[in-house]
Structure 1
Amino acid sequence: MNFHTRKWIKPEDLNPNGTLFGGRLLEWIDEEAALYAIIQLENPRTVTKFMSEINFVSSAKKGDIVEIGLEPKSFGRTSLTLACEVRNKMNHEVIISIEKIIMVSLDENGVPTPHGKTQIEFVKDRLAK
C-alpha cells in the first residue's frame, strides 16, 4: 500500500466525542480515490460506484497526522478497484480500512465507458513516451 496523502486533524474535523468525525475521513478517502483513479484512467469523469464495508479500527484526535493509503486491486472494462487504509502517521496504528472501492470511468453523457487500461501506469512513464 502506498501512502501519499497526509491530513492534519484540526478542531473542525472532530465529532462531539473529540475524535475524528468518520464522515470527514470518508470525504478525504473518496477524494483521494477519485484523484488516484482519474490519473490512472486519464478521465476526469471518474466517479465512485461502490465502497465495501468500512472498518473503523481506532480513532484519531486533534493534532494527529493521518495518512491515506491506496492500493490498486484490479481493472475492469470501465472500472478500477482499489483498497484503502488510513493510519496514524506517528505510530502507524490503523484507523480505518476499506477492502474495496470501485471507481468507474464515465463518458460525457454520464454512461460508463471503457478505459482500455490493464495495469498501473506512472505519469513519469507516460511523459517519457
Structure 2
Amino acid sequence: MKKLMSESYAVKTANVLPPDSNSHGTLFGGRLLQYVDDIAAISARRHCREAVVTASIDSMDFLRPIHVGEIVILEAMVTHTGRSSMEVMVKISKEDLTRESGKELAAFSFLTFVALDENNNTVEVPKIEPDTERLQWLNDTGKERAERRLERKERSKSLSNFFASDLLE
C-alpha cells in the first residue's frame, strides 16, 4: 500500500512567550526541539496510523533566531520510508505579526520514527508516494540520508563502549 506524502502533512503554530526564551530573548533550542519532536510524531502517526517512537534526530540546523513576540510555525511531512521506519522533515518558520515581513525560514530538521504495535514490536509502514517534483526530490534523497543515519548509528554503537564507564575515569 502507498500513501501520498501530503497525507502526512501536519502544522503546529505557537506564540513565543518569555518563559520559552533564553537570556537573549530568543526561543530556547530545547523548547524548539520539543515542538519539532511533537509535530514530527504527529506526521509519522498520520502516515502509518500506529504508535511511533523517535529513533533519531539527524540534526537541528538553526538558521535564524526566533524572538519573543514572534510566532513559530512548524510544518512536518514524511519524506521517506523504510520497512518500519519513517523519515520526517520539519520546516520551522518564524513570523513577526507586528510587521508585514511575512514568514522567514528559521530552522529545519530531519527525524526518524519507528512504528510499533501494541506489544512494542515494529510494524511495516505504508510506502510513500510524492505528490510533486519537489517532494519527489525529498523522497529520492531520503535513501542517502537513511544510509548516513545507519553509518552514524554504527559509530554510536562503537562509542557506547567508550562511554560505558564514567566520563572522568
TM-score band by shorter chain is: 0.7 to 0.9
CA contact (8 A) 1:3 1:67 kept: no
Equivalent position of 1:97 in the other structure: 108
TM-score (ref. length: structure 2): 0.63
Distance, in Å, in 1 between the alignment partners of 2:86 and 2:45 is 10
Is 1:63 aligned to residue 69 of structure 2?
yes
The number of residue pairs the alignment matches comes to 117
The structure that has the greater radius of gyration is 2
The letter for the 2-side match of 1:75 is T
Unmatched tracts of structure 2, length 5 or more:
1-5, 97-101, 130-169
Distance, in Å, in 1 between the alignment partners of 2:18 and 2:64 is 18
Calculate percent identity across the aligned residue pairs.
26
Distance, in Å, in 1 between the alignment partners of 2:112 and 2:65 is 25
User: Cα RMSD over matched residues?
Assistant: 1.9
The correspondence for 1:118, drawn from 114, 127, 131, is: 127
Unmatched tracts of structure 1, length 5 or more:
121-129
Distance, in Å, in 1 between the alignment partners of 2:82 and 2:20 is 34
Runs of at least 4 residues off by over 6 Å: none
Distance, in Å, in 1 between the alignment partners of 2:67 and 2:10 is 20
Instruction: Name the structure with the higher helix share.
Output: 2
Distance, in Å, in 2 between the alignment partners of 1:55 and 1:3 is 20
